[in-house]
Structure 1
Amino acid sequence: MKFVRWFLGRIILLLNFVFSPKGVKRSQEAQKDVDQKAATMALYQFEACPFCVKVRRSMKRQSVKIELRDAKNDTTHRSELEAGGGRVKVPCLRIEKDGQVEWMYESSDIVAYLEQEFAA
Structure 2
Amino acid sequence: MKVIRWLLGRLILVLNFVFSPKGVKRSESEQAKLDRKAATMTLYQFEACPFCVKVRRAMKRQSIKIELRDAKNNPTHRDELEQGGGKIKVPCLKIEKEGQVTWMYESSDIVNYLEKEFA
Length-normalised TM-score, structure 2: 1.00
Separation (CA, whole Å) in 2 of partners of 1:53 and 1:33: 25
Which runs of 5 or more structure 2 residues have no equivalent in the other structure?
none
Length-normalised TM-score, structure 1: 0.99
**Cross-structure match for 1:29:** 29
Separation (CA, whole Å) in 1 of partners of 2:34 and 2:52: 21
Are 2:31 and 1:4 equivalent residues in the alignment? no
Aligned-residue offset at 1:42: 0.2
**Cross-structure match for 2:110:** 110
State the AA in 1 paired with 2:31. Answer: Q
Which runs of 5 or more structure 1 residues have no equivalent in the other structure?
none
Deviation digits for residues 30-81 of structure 1, max 9, x if unmatched? 0000100000000000000000000000000000000000000000000000
For the aligned residue pairs, the C-alpha RMSD in angstroms reads: 0.2
**Cross-structure match for 2:60:** 60
Separation (CA, whole Å) in 2 of partners of 1:27 and 1:75: 38
Deviation digits for residues 67-101 of structure 1, max 9, x if unmatched? 00000000000000000000000000000000000
Deviating 4+ runs (over 2 angstroms): none
State the AA in 2 paired with 1:85. Answer: G
